[in-house]
Structure 1
Amino acid sequence: MEPPVDFFLIRHGETDWNRQGRLQGQRDVPLNPIGLEQASAAGRKLKKLLHKEGIDPAGLRFVASPLRRTCDTMERLRSALGLPPAAYETDDRLKEIGFGAWEGLTWSEAKAVAPALVKERKRAKWIFVPPGGESYADLADRLMPWLGERRPGDVVVAHGGVARALMHILAGVPITEAPDIEIFQGRVLRFARGRFQWF
């Protein structure tokens, strides 16, 4: 029988690049003060949710993308849960989708550099590969082995692109819609029984 709670996903808190609309991809950009508070807020929300469902957070596995913004979010979240901040795992497969040569650019700047490519991406976001980067399809392939290893109740801190890919893989969101779904910071996303729900 499938467990009622499959796993929890938290997007990292805000960075200055998020605020500026820059493509972060796999660049190691730190949280800003708002992002630090969002990370703590997500931890408080998760604490209430786990308490309500009678789940002891100390019995769960915690895993994060190894980038600084996700690790800092995880440590804030674990502190809010009353757990040792650094006692979690990292997994390279949870890194954000790679934007290659476009990392650090805003979309306006990318359009100025490569207007035809940006137009092509708009037509087929799921399969488009930026110069030196990867597509959402590539990201989904990268996540599949990790999905096979997850445990019920895992707490995962990752990225917006990762959440979108998982929404397609696990909840059947069409590839024409998944790349455009808004992924909130400071909230908790639960995947269970082929669905997802925000808290």
Structure 2
Amino acid sequence: MPTPRVFLVRHGETEWSLSGKHTGVTDIPLTPNGEKRVKATGRALVGEDRLIVPKQLAHIYVSPRKRAQRTFELLNFDVEDSLPWKLHGEKLPGAGQVCGARVEVTQDIREWDYGDYEGITSPEIREIRSKQGLTERWDIWRDGCVGGESPDDVTERVDRIIKEIRDKWHSPVIGKPKSGNPPPGDVLVVAHGHILRAFALRWAGKTLQDGPAFLLEAGGVGTLSYEHHNIEEPAILLGGAFVVSP
């Protein structure tokens, strides 16, 4: 059967993501353009012959922040159970993509807690640190955030959810022969820029301090999987193709 995957979806554009302000606990809405782009992503990437096949999803994790939850709404999945939050906007017209996976809101995939750096840009952070006698060459992956989370704090909670995904959703299906109707194994994670980049680093076994610099645009989608159908060989899927029937 196909090797299970994790799809990482960053919430759509907000006013603060446009301006480069660090947005952790502050809950601001998507911009109209952000909503439009997420809808387009759903139409392009979600479907029976697309990257994300709803019926192959085993579980869906969503951040507790409204901007991430609204992003999930705009992808237009028709989940069997009611969502664990009240809708943050109008429901999309027409039938959504039927999906049997349960949607779970988890604190483990909330955005990095920026502490004293909430709502300010990287240049402003460096200026503040200079006045405090700290190094101006601030790097969140190395230095963390004063009054907020350190890289070790973030690593701990990201590792926890990765372990759960591998133990609970991927181990039962990976490398198993296809017989009848195999259970779904893909997982969808809808969250934020820094935490999803940290997730990808830890998925690949890299430390936050030493790993490569991954980028994920607002409203973007990333894919993680395994090499050789082996759960001991986690990998980042750089690109995939649409499924085309012969």
TM-score, scaled relative to structure 2: 0.68
Change (3 A) 1:141 1:72: same
Residue equivalent to 1:35: 34
Alignment pair present for 1:142 and 2:174: no
- How many residues align structurally? 194
Following the alignment from structure 1 to structure 2, what is the Cα–Cα distance between the partners of residues 175 and 58?
Answer: 30
Residue correspondence of structure 1 range 18-97 to structure 2 within 5 A:
18-48=17-47, 50-52=48-50, 55-57=53-55, 60-79=58-77, 82-83=96-97, 88-97=103-112
Q: Which amino acid aligns with 1:98?
A: D
Following the alignment from structure 2 to structure 1, what is the Cα–Cα distance between the partners of residues 41 and 154?
Answer: 25
Change (3 A) 1:26 1:41: same
Secondary structure of the structure 1 residue equivalent to 2:147: coil
Q: Is the 8 A contact 2:202 2:208 kept in 1?
A: no
Moved more, 173-182 or 105-114: 173-182
Q: CA deviation at 1:53?
A: 7.0
Change (3 A) 1:37 1:64: same
Moved more, 109-118 or 187-196: 109-118
Following the alignment from structure 2 to structure 1, what is the Cα–Cα distance between the partners of residues 114 and 143?
Answer: 10
Q: CA deviation at 1:155?
A: 1.1
Cα deviation, 1:97-149, whole Å, max 9, x if unaligned, reads: 11101101122222332224462533xx4341321111233212112222222
Residue equivalent to 1:171: 204
Following the alignment from structure 1 to structure 2, what is the Cα–Cα distance between the partners of residues 37 and 126?
Answer: 31
Q: CA deviation at 1:178?
A: 4.2
Q: Which amino acid aligns with 2:67?
A: R
TM-score, scaled relative to structure 1: 0.82
Percent of aligned positions with the same letter in both sequences? 29
Following the alignment from structure 2 to structure 1, what is the Cα–Cα distance between the partners of residues 128 and 49?
Answer: 50
Following the alignment from structure 1 to structure 2, what is the Cα–Cα distance between the partners of residues 52 and 13?
Answer: 20
Following the alignment from structure 1 to structure 2, what is the Cα–Cα distance between the partners of residues 54 and 126?
Answer: 30
Following the alignment from structure 1 to structure 2, what is the Cα–Cα distance between the partners of residues 52 and 78?
Answer: 14
Radius of gyration: which is bigger? 2
Q: Which amino acid aligns with 2:220?
A: R
Runs of 5+ in structure 1 lacking a partner? none
Say what the alpha-carbon RMSD is for the aligned residues.
Answer: 2.9
Change (3 A) 1:36 1:53: closer
Change (3 A) 1:66 1:83: farther
In structure 1, which of residues 119, 122, 128 is the aligned counterpart of residue 143 of structure 2?
A: 128
Alignment pair present for 1:183 and 2:209: no
Runs of 5+ in structure 2 lacking a partner? 78-91, 170-184, 227-233, 240-246
Cα deviation, 1:31-59, whole Å, max 9, x if unaligned, reads: 111211222123223314x5257944375
Residue equivalent to 2:136: 119
